[in-house]
Homo-oligomer: A and B are copies of this chain.
């Protein structure tokens, strides 16, 4: 293998595939970057066995070849080289790297043991805007369960029905749900691991406006042109989430999102001192009183609001409530209540599609 490429053209692809590589892998070969040169193109690939990222970049290929290179060392060397043309020459398993007055020789590993990109067959294809996909994953993935005994709930459900797509995450205490219309008649459910969702969001930061998602029985594939992302899906049954959302709310409270976030963040300073993270809300016609008590002290916050329906006293885990309010982007939110024991539903007053459902904490005596 003999390749010439400018340092600046190689840095980006290395950063991209390193997103898939885990520092802690039981298989040493997975600490490597797969590197292949042919047809005036370099193909790089990284994987942790679950997530795989492949990317291609144009280069001057004088002689074809392939090798697996230690990811950290190879990445550090390329990053530290001067901003100039890099000459890569592979002889057996030794890669010679030259750039101006620097020369490295590093040992690679044969490529036979390196896993190939998974083949996706019988997939359903869905086209989404970059913004919709990023918003959906950001506003739901934080609500996945961390409990490995309920594996299906540790991922985000991609639920496709004709004309509609839903992203759902829930952990038994709260649910985040984002729905949107799509132009597709496909019907498929796929549970995407939380880490894959995080990496998708990071990858999309620098990509096209329209994203092609492919869902198959075991894999999700996202094609970004020169970069392809594939993740295994989580097997198992997701929770029947549709029944959770009721529409018989009796109390609707409209308030400024930012006021609520700041009041809850301050109340949380004391709530988090105790295990329960407990905050109590006392909702009346024009204001919400947020209170929290701990051994060290107490806090009282008054937030202006406009309430339809009766007053209500209700308690929450401040972390779960706060994360949902923060997930909404718009300025004004509405909180819907039935009573002090049924879930609260929070949504934007301006934009539909996203709802966050959070269970109250039952207080002694209720």
**A residues in contact (CB < 8 Å) with B:** 70, 73, 76-77, 80-82, 94, 101-107, 262-263, 265-266, 269-270, 273, 295-303
Distance in Å: Cβ of A93 to nearest Cβ of chain B: 11
Stoichiometry (number of copies): 2
Inter-chain contacts of A266 with B (CB < 8 A): 77, 80-81, 102, 104
Set B70, B297, B299, B302: member contacting A107, Cβ < 8 A = B297
Set B81, B103, B262, B297: member contacting A104, Cβ < 8 A = B297
Distance in Å: Cβ of A298 to nearest Cβ of chain B: 5
Say yes or no: A263 contacts B297, CB within 8 Å.
no
Say yes or no: A101 contacts B297, CB within 8 Å.
no
Give the complex CA separation of A81 and B297 in angstroms: 16
Inter-chain contacts of A73 with B (CB < 8 A): 269-270, 273, 296
Q: Which 7 A-B pairs give the minimum distances between C-beta atoms?
A: A106-B297, A101-B302, A103-B300, A105-B297, A104-B299, A80-B266, A105-B298
Q: Which residue of B lies closest to A101 (CB)?
A: B302
Say yes or no: A265 contacts B80, CB within 8 Å.
yes
Distance in Å: Cβ of A80 to nearest Cβ of chain B: 5
Say yes or no: B301 contacts A101, CB within 8 Å.
yes
Distance in Å: Cβ of A152 to nearest Cβ of chain B: 37
